[in-house]
Amino acid sequence: MIVALIDSGLGLLPTSAWLRRLRPELDLMLSMDPDGAPWGPKPGHWVIDRVVRTAERAVTRGAEVVVLPCNTASVTALEHVREALGDEIPVIGTVPAIKPAAAACESVAIWATAATTASRYQADLVARFAGDSKVVGVACHGLADAIDRGDTTAAATAIAAAAERTPADVRGVVLGCTHYPLVADVIAAHLPPGVRLFDSAEAVAAQTLRRIDALGRPWAGSGRVEVFLSGRPGELPPGALGYPAGRGLVDGLGDPTAGLPGDDAPRAGTR
């Protein structure tokens, strides 16, 4: 059973790490797009074409399940990927964990990219799922790019700036970009004690496994990890090895989810 995960950069690592921990025998196909990254500022039709073609290529290479552990890809291209691949290929998308955060906390901040923070998409999610909680969006300028580069200094600077713009009464922070869980420990260190972090990666992995089991097919795997960079066979970028999730996928040692936040509501955060 090969599971393909598609993102522009390292945002696919947290979900991959949870899949490795929960079902280590799965074969994973990691498709990143260094030539086209970042996807957020690109026109919608461009993102749709890019993600659909990557998904089709993954299925041609043997993938039986496709995961979009990327908010931009999910909101822009998820339904197009499902239409292109048909009912035989499960396609799992991602949404920020706003619902569980709002259920647990009276005051919530959503940390996300500047494009997502200003988007109608995030505003609609808040209107649907925030309930009576007070919610504020915090744009984390440059954080995803710094994580992709493995630039810990730039990441810490972006985190510190976002923490300064986060209201003091916030009790929960939604990691609204799939890159951010990779630096969850640094984020937590910049927030007041007791502030909870909410992330979708574990939930997306759990939903992926439910969809696999629902197929009812006999399968076996060797825990192999394949990497494709803008369609070309390759290796995880050096920056990935700066995170336990990346090192765990490469060398198979230790817990690849070390440092990643868990999810209190395993059905939240998936599409």
Residues with a catalytic annotation lie at: 70, 177
**Structural contact between residues 263 and 100, judged by C-beta atoms closer than 8 angstroms:** yes
Give the Cα separation of 117 and 121 in Å (integer): 9
Give the Cα separation of 114 and 68 in Å (integer): 20
Give the Cα separation of 22 and 25 in Å (integer): 9
* Contacts of residue 200, Cβ cutoff 8 Å, sequence gap at least 6: 94, 95, 96, 97, 178, 263, 268, 269, 270
Of 95, 163, 174, 75, the closest CA to residue 133 belongs to 174
Backbone angles phi, psi at 37, to 5 degrees: -70, 150
Give the Cα separation of 117 and 137 in Å (integer): 6
CA distances from 267 to 90, 198, 209, 221 (A): 16, 13, 12, 25
